[in-house]
Amino acid sequence: MKKDSYNIAIAGATGAVGQEMMEILKERNFPIGELRLLASERSAGKELEFDGKKIKIQELDENSFEGIDIALFSAGGSRSKEFAPIAARAGAIVVDNSSAFRMDTEVPLVIPEINPKAIAGYSKKGIVANPNCTTAVTVMALKPLHDLGNIKRVIASSYQAVSGAGAQAIEELKNQTLAWANSEEIKPEAFPYQIAFNLLPQIDSFVDNGYTKEEMKLHNETRKILENSEMALTATTVRVPVFRAHSVSVNIETEKKITVDEAKEALNSFPGVSVVDDPGELKYPMPIDVAGKDDCIVGRIREDYTVENGLSFWVVGDQLRKGAALNAVQIAELLIGDYI
Protein backbone atom coordinates (compact mmCIF):
# COMPACT_ATOMS: atom_id res chain seq x y z
CA MET A 1 0.00 0.00 0.00
CA LYS A 2 1.32 3.41 -0.95
CA LYS A 3 1.90 5.94 1.77
CA ASP A 4 0.19 9.31 1.90
CA SER A 5 3.46 11.10 2.59
CA TYR A 6 7.19 10.47 2.61
CA ASN A 7 10.03 11.64 4.80
CA ILE A 8 12.59 13.52 2.70
CA ALA A 9 16.11 14.61 3.60
CA ILE A 10 18.13 17.15 1.62
CA ALA A 11 21.87 16.84 2.18
CA GLY A 12 23.43 20.15 1.20
CA ALA A 13 20.26 22.12 1.84
CA THR A 14 21.99 25.50 2.07
CA GLY A 15 23.59 25.31 -1.39
CA ALA A 16 22.12 26.60 -4.64
CA VAL A 17 20.91 23.16 -5.75
CA GLY A 18 19.58 22.30 -2.30
CA GLN A 19 17.57 25.52 -2.23
CA GLU A 20 16.26 24.74 -5.71
CA MET A 21 15.24 21.25 -4.56
CA MET A 22 13.14 22.78 -1.80
CA GLU A 23 11.45 25.13 -4.23
CA ILE A 24 10.68 22.36 -6.73
CA LEU A 25 9.34 20.01 -4.05
CA LYS A 26 6.91 22.76 -3.12
CA GLU A 27 6.02 23.64 -6.72
CA ARG A 28 5.23 20.03 -7.60
CA ASN A 29 3.28 19.36 -4.37
CA PHE A 30 5.49 16.44 -3.44
CA PRO A 31 3.77 14.51 -0.61
CA ILE A 32 6.14 15.29 2.25
CA GLY A 33 5.70 14.08 5.79
CA GLU A 34 8.93 15.35 7.32
CA LEU A 35 11.48 17.49 5.48
CA ARG A 36 14.89 17.13 7.11
CA LEU A 37 17.45 19.75 6.07
CA LEU A 38 21.08 18.72 6.43
CA ALA A 39 24.26 20.75 5.98
CA SER A 40 27.72 21.27 7.44
CA GLU A 41 28.43 22.03 11.07
CA ARG A 42 28.68 25.77 10.41
CA SER A 43 25.08 25.88 9.16
CA ALA A 44 23.58 23.66 11.85
CA GLY A 45 21.00 25.48 13.96
CA LYS A 46 20.12 28.03 11.32
CA GLU A 47 16.65 28.02 9.82
CA LEU A 48 15.27 27.85 6.29
CA GLU A 49 11.70 28.46 5.27
CA PHE A 50 9.67 25.82 3.45
CA ASP A 51 6.00 26.24 2.60
CA GLY A 52 5.57 28.99 5.17
CA LYS A 53 7.29 27.08 7.98
CA LYS A 54 10.73 27.50 9.52
CA ILE A 55 12.84 24.33 9.53
CA LYS A 56 16.01 24.11 11.60
CA ILE A 57 19.08 22.84 9.73
CA GLN A 58 20.74 19.77 11.22
CA GLU A 59 24.37 18.77 10.86
CA LEU A 60 24.95 16.01 8.32
CA ASP A 61 26.28 13.00 10.21
CA GLU A 62 25.91 9.21 10.44
CA ASN A 63 22.64 9.54 12.39
CA SER A 64 20.89 11.87 9.95
CA PHE A 65 18.81 9.35 8.01
CA GLU A 66 16.78 7.28 10.45
CA GLY A 67 13.16 7.24 9.29
CA ILE A 68 13.96 8.88 5.95
CA ASP A 69 12.38 7.44 2.78
CA ILE A 70 14.32 9.42 0.16
CA ALA A 71 17.55 11.36 0.64
CA LEU A 72 18.35 13.99 -1.98
CA PHE A 73 22.11 14.63 -1.99
CA SER A 74 23.74 17.81 -3.23
CA ALA A 75 26.62 18.06 -0.81
CA GLY A 76 29.59 17.31 -3.10
CA GLY A 77 31.28 14.09 -4.18
CA SER A 78 33.33 13.44 -1.05
CA ARG A 79 30.31 13.90 1.23
CA SER A 80 28.23 11.65 -1.02
CA LYS A 81 30.84 8.91 -0.95
CA GLU A 82 30.89 9.09 2.85
CA PHE A 83 27.21 9.51 3.67
CA ALA A 84 25.17 8.07 0.77
CA PRO A 85 25.97 4.46 1.75
CA ILE A 86 25.10 5.32 5.36
CA ALA A 87 21.75 6.73 4.25
CA ALA A 88 21.06 3.64 2.16
CA ARG A 89 21.87 1.32 5.07
CA ALA A 90 19.45 3.34 7.21
CA GLY A 91 16.68 2.47 4.73
CA ALA A 92 16.59 5.62 2.59
CA ILE A 93 16.86 5.59 -1.19
CA VAL A 94 19.54 8.08 -2.17
CA VAL A 95 19.26 10.35 -5.21
CA ASP A 96 22.77 11.71 -5.59
CA ASN A 97 23.61 14.83 -7.58
CA SER A 98 27.40 14.44 -7.41
CA SER A 99 29.74 12.55 -9.73
CA ALA A 100 30.54 9.99 -7.01
CA PHE A 101 28.40 7.14 -8.33
CA ARG A 102 27.47 8.05 -11.91
CA MET A 103 29.79 5.57 -13.59
CA ASP A 104 29.31 2.83 -10.97
CA THR A 105 27.94 -0.17 -12.86
CA GLU A 106 25.67 -0.97 -9.91
CA VAL A 107 24.14 2.51 -9.75
CA PRO A 108 21.58 3.65 -12.36
CA LEU A 109 22.18 7.03 -14.02
CA VAL A 110 18.71 8.38 -14.73
CA ILE A 111 16.94 11.10 -16.66
CA PRO A 112 13.25 10.25 -16.15
CA GLU A 113 12.13 11.31 -19.63
CA ILE A 114 14.83 9.13 -21.21
CA ASN A 115 15.52 5.96 -19.22
CA PRO A 116 12.96 5.72 -16.40
CA LYS A 117 13.09 1.91 -16.24
CA ALA A 118 16.78 2.04 -15.33
CA ILE A 119 15.77 3.34 -11.91
CA ALA A 120 14.92 -0.22 -10.87
CA GLY A 121 18.65 -0.79 -10.49
CA TYR A 122 18.64 1.32 -7.31
CA SER A 123 18.04 -1.86 -5.33
CA LYS A 124 21.68 -2.96 -5.72
CA LYS A 125 23.13 -0.15 -3.60
CA GLY A 126 20.11 1.95 -2.66
CA ILE A 127 21.42 4.80 -4.80
CA VAL A 128 20.26 6.51 -8.00
CA ALA A 129 22.66 8.96 -9.69
CA ASN A 130 21.75 12.30 -11.25
CA PRO A 131 23.77 13.18 -14.38
CA ASN A 132 26.10 16.12 -14.71
CA CYS A 133 24.20 19.32 -15.48
CA THR A 134 25.67 19.76 -18.96
CA THR A 135 25.04 16.11 -19.77
CA ALA A 136 21.39 16.42 -18.75
CA VAL A 137 20.76 19.47 -20.94
CA THR A 138 22.57 17.94 -23.92
CA VAL A 139 21.07 14.45 -23.74
CA MET A 140 17.53 15.82 -23.49
CA ALA A 141 18.03 17.07 -27.05
CA LEU A 142 20.02 14.06 -28.24
CA LYS A 143 17.53 11.36 -27.20
CA PRO A 144 14.65 12.14 -29.61
CA LEU A 145 17.12 12.54 -32.49
CA HIS A 146 18.90 9.32 -31.56
CA ASP A 147 15.57 7.48 -31.61
CA LEU A 148 14.90 8.94 -35.05
CA GLY A 149 18.23 8.44 -36.80
CA ASN A 150 20.67 6.53 -34.54
CA ILE A 151 23.45 8.99 -33.67
CA LYS A 152 26.96 7.83 -34.57
CA ARG A 153 29.00 10.87 -33.55
CA VAL A 154 28.55 13.98 -31.41
CA ILE A 155 30.64 17.15 -31.24
CA ALA A 156 29.58 19.43 -28.39
CA SER A 157 30.81 22.81 -27.15
CA SER A 158 29.27 24.09 -23.94
CA TYR A 159 28.82 27.65 -22.69
CA GLN A 160 28.31 27.15 -18.96
CA ALA A 161 26.96 29.68 -16.48
CA VAL A 162 28.94 30.60 -13.37
CA SER A 163 26.19 29.31 -11.05
CA GLY A 164 27.37 25.83 -12.03
CA ALA A 165 30.47 26.57 -9.94
CA GLY A 166 28.52 27.62 -6.84
CA ALA A 167 27.52 30.69 -4.87
CA GLN A 168 31.07 32.08 -4.65
CA ALA A 169 31.33 32.08 -8.44
CA ILE A 170 28.07 34.01 -8.75
CA GLU A 171 29.35 36.66 -6.36
CA GLU A 172 32.66 36.80 -8.22
CA LEU A 173 30.96 37.62 -11.52
CA LYS A 174 28.86 40.31 -9.81
CA ASN A 175 31.83 41.83 -8.03
CA GLN A 176 34.11 41.76 -11.06
CA THR A 177 31.46 43.39 -13.24
CA LEU A 178 31.05 46.20 -10.70
CA ALA A 179 34.82 46.55 -10.37
CA TRP A 180 35.19 46.81 -14.15
CA ALA A 181 32.43 49.45 -14.33
CA ASN A 182 34.17 51.47 -11.63
CA SER A 183 37.66 51.04 -13.13
CA GLU A 184 38.77 49.11 -10.04
CA GLU A 185 41.20 46.22 -9.82
CA ILE A 186 39.69 42.83 -10.63
CA LYS A 187 40.85 40.00 -8.37
CA PRO A 188 40.05 36.39 -9.41
CA GLU A 189 39.33 34.02 -6.53
CA ALA A 190 36.70 31.43 -7.47
CA PHE A 191 38.23 31.07 -10.96
CA PRO A 192 41.90 31.08 -11.99
CA TYR A 193 41.33 34.11 -14.24
CA GLN A 194 38.89 37.00 -14.58
CA ILE A 195 35.45 35.72 -15.60
CA ALA A 196 33.71 39.06 -16.20
CA PHE A 197 33.85 39.90 -19.95
CA ASN A 198 35.93 36.78 -20.51
CA LEU A 199 35.65 33.06 -21.36
CA LEU A 200 37.51 30.26 -19.61
CA PRO A 201 38.00 27.13 -21.76
CA GLN A 202 38.46 24.94 -18.69
CA ILE A 203 35.85 23.45 -16.37
CA ASP A 204 37.23 21.06 -13.73
CA SER A 205 40.78 19.72 -13.89
CA PHE A 206 42.61 18.31 -16.90
CA VAL A 207 43.16 14.58 -17.34
CA ASP A 208 45.91 12.71 -19.19
CA ASN A 209 44.20 12.80 -22.61
CA GLY A 210 44.09 16.63 -22.63
CA TYR A 211 40.37 16.82 -21.91
CA THR A 212 38.91 18.10 -18.65
CA LYS A 213 36.92 15.97 -16.24
CA GLU A 214 33.80 17.94 -17.23
CA GLU A 215 34.32 17.04 -20.89
CA MET A 216 34.82 13.38 -20.08
CA LYS A 217 31.67 13.39 -17.94
CA LEU A 218 29.68 14.43 -21.01
CA HIS A 219 31.34 11.65 -23.03
CA ASN A 220 30.92 8.86 -20.47
CA GLU A 221 27.53 9.77 -19.01
CA THR A 222 25.85 10.28 -22.38
CA ARG A 223 26.86 6.81 -23.51
CA LYS A 224 25.63 5.26 -20.26
CA ILE A 225 22.25 7.03 -20.31
CA LEU A 226 21.63 6.24 -23.99
CA GLU A 227 22.97 2.69 -23.51
CA ASN A 228 25.31 3.11 -26.47
CA SER A 229 28.96 2.42 -25.68
CA GLU A 230 29.91 2.84 -29.34
CA MET A 231 28.71 6.44 -29.72
CA ALA A 232 31.65 8.73 -30.50
CA LEU A 233 31.48 11.99 -28.55
CA THR A 234 33.97 14.81 -28.15
CA ALA A 235 33.38 17.97 -26.12
CA THR A 236 34.88 21.32 -25.20
CA THR A 237 33.39 22.89 -22.08
CA VAL A 238 33.69 26.64 -21.51
CA ARG A 239 32.76 28.86 -18.54
CA VAL A 240 31.05 32.08 -19.69
CA PRO A 241 30.02 35.27 -17.84
CA VAL A 242 26.35 34.26 -17.58
CA PHE A 243 24.68 33.84 -14.20
CA ARG A 244 22.28 31.00 -14.90
CA ALA A 245 21.47 28.39 -17.59
CA HIS A 246 23.93 26.38 -19.65
CA SER A 247 24.05 26.48 -23.46
CA VAL A 248 25.48 23.80 -25.72
CA SER A 249 26.33 23.90 -29.42
CA VAL A 250 25.87 20.38 -30.79
CA ASN A 251 26.73 18.72 -34.08
CA ILE A 252 25.58 15.15 -34.71
CA GLU A 253 26.10 12.59 -37.44
CA THR A 254 23.42 9.91 -37.79
CA GLU A 255 23.07 6.60 -39.60
CA LYS A 256 19.70 7.65 -41.04
CA LYS A 257 19.18 11.10 -42.52
CA ILE A 258 17.04 13.45 -40.43
CA THR A 259 15.56 16.52 -42.06
CA VAL A 260 15.19 19.79 -40.19
CA ASP A 261 11.41 19.43 -40.13
CA GLU A 262 11.67 15.88 -38.79
CA ALA A 263 14.08 17.03 -36.12
CA LYS A 264 11.82 19.87 -35.01
CA GLU A 265 8.80 17.57 -34.81
CA ALA A 266 10.70 14.94 -32.80
CA LEU A 267 12.14 17.51 -30.39
CA ASN A 268 8.85 19.35 -29.88
CA SER A 269 7.08 16.06 -29.19
CA PHE A 270 9.59 14.94 -26.56
CA PRO A 271 8.63 15.62 -22.91
CA GLY A 272 10.75 18.32 -21.31
CA VAL A 273 11.96 19.75 -24.64
CA SER A 274 10.64 22.72 -26.60
CA VAL A 275 11.75 24.25 -29.89
CA VAL A 276 12.27 27.99 -30.38
CA ASP A 277 13.65 28.33 -33.89
CA ASP A 278 12.68 31.16 -36.24
CA PRO A 279 15.81 32.80 -37.66
CA GLY A 280 13.74 35.20 -39.76
CA GLU A 281 12.26 36.67 -36.57
CA LEU A 282 15.55 36.36 -34.64
CA LYS A 283 14.02 33.76 -32.32
CA TYR A 284 16.36 31.22 -30.72
CA PRO A 285 17.05 29.96 -27.19
CA MET A 286 19.04 32.20 -24.85
CA PRO A 287 20.05 31.69 -21.20
CA ILE A 288 18.24 34.85 -20.10
CA ASP A 289 14.95 33.39 -21.35
CA VAL A 290 15.47 29.82 -20.14
CA ALA A 291 16.63 30.57 -16.57
CA GLY A 292 13.98 29.38 -14.11
CA LYS A 293 12.21 27.15 -16.64
CA ASP A 294 11.93 23.37 -16.62
CA ASP A 295 12.17 22.64 -20.35
CA CYS A 296 15.38 22.43 -22.34
CA ILE A 297 14.94 24.70 -25.36
CA VAL A 298 16.39 23.86 -28.78
CA GLY A 299 16.95 26.16 -31.76
CA ARG A 300 19.31 26.98 -34.64
CA ILE A 301 18.44 23.56 -36.09
CA ARG A 302 20.08 23.10 -39.48
CA GLU A 303 21.51 20.41 -41.70
CA ASP A 304 25.28 20.04 -41.65
CA TYR A 305 26.19 20.25 -45.32
CA THR A 306 29.71 18.87 -44.74
CA VAL A 307 28.52 15.30 -44.09
CA GLU A 308 25.84 13.09 -45.59
CA ASN A 309 23.65 12.76 -42.49
CA GLY A 310 24.44 15.63 -40.15
CA LEU A 311 22.56 18.16 -38.02
CA SER A 312 23.70 21.12 -35.96
CA PHE A 313 21.64 22.73 -33.20
CA TRP A 314 21.80 24.87 -30.06
CA VAL A 315 20.25 23.75 -26.76
CA VAL A 316 19.84 25.77 -23.56
CA GLY A 317 18.70 24.50 -20.16
CA ASP A 318 18.60 25.75 -16.59
CA GLN A 319 21.37 23.71 -14.99
CA LEU A 320 20.02 24.27 -11.47
CA ARG A 321 16.66 22.81 -12.49
CA LYS A 322 16.75 20.12 -15.19
CA GLY A 323 20.51 19.90 -14.79
CA ALA A 324 20.22 19.14 -11.08
CA ALA A 325 17.30 19.77 -8.70
CA LEU A 326 14.34 19.13 -11.02
CA ASN A 327 15.81 15.89 -12.32
CA ALA A 328 16.40 14.70 -8.75
CA VAL A 329 12.82 15.45 -7.71
CA GLN A 330 11.50 13.74 -10.85
CA ILE A 331 13.48 10.64 -9.86
CA ALA A 332 11.93 10.85 -6.39
CA GLU A 333 8.49 11.03 -8.01
CA LEU A 334 9.23 7.87 -9.98
CA LEU A 335 10.37 6.16 -6.80
CA ILE A 336 7.17 6.90 -4.88
CA GLY A 337 5.03 6.17 -7.92
CA ASP A 338 6.42 2.76 -8.87
CA TYR A 339 8.99 1.48 -6.38
CA ILE A 340 8.45 2.49 -2.76
> Rg of the chain's alpha carbons, rounded to an integer?
20
For residue 320, which of 124, 97, 109 has the smallest C-alpha distance? 97
**What is the C-alpha to C-alpha distance for residues 152 and 232, in angstroms, rounded to an integer?**
6
Q: What single letter denotes the amino acid at residue 319?
A: Q
For residue 109, the surrounding DSSP H or E stretch is none
Phi first, then psi: give them for residue 107, nearest 5 degrees: -120, 120
**What is the C-alpha to C-alpha distance for residues 93 and 85, in angstroms, rounded to an integer?**
10
Name the catalytic one among 133, 146, 219, 296: 133
For residue 4, the surrounding DSSP H or E stretch is none
**What is the C-alpha to C-alpha distance for residues 280 and 301, in angstroms, rounded to an integer?**
13
Instruction: Count CB-CB contacts under 10 A for residue 211.
Output: 18
Q: Is 296 one of the annotated active-site residues of the chain?
A: no
Tell me, what DSSP letter sits at residue 90?
A: T
CA angle 204, 162, 112 (to 5 degrees): 80
Q: In whole angstroms, how far apart are CA 1 and each of 208, 329, 340?
A: 51, 22, 9
CA angle 129, 133, 137 (to 5 degrees): 110
User: Residues 225, 139: contact at Cβ < 8 Å?
Assistant: yes
User: Residues 204, 214: contact at Cβ < 8 Å?
Assistant: yes
**What is the C-alpha to C-alpha distance for residues 114 and 144, in angstroms, rounded to an integer?**
9
Q: In whole angstroms, how far apart are CA 127 and each of 5, 114, 135?
A: 20, 18, 19
List active site positions: 133, 246
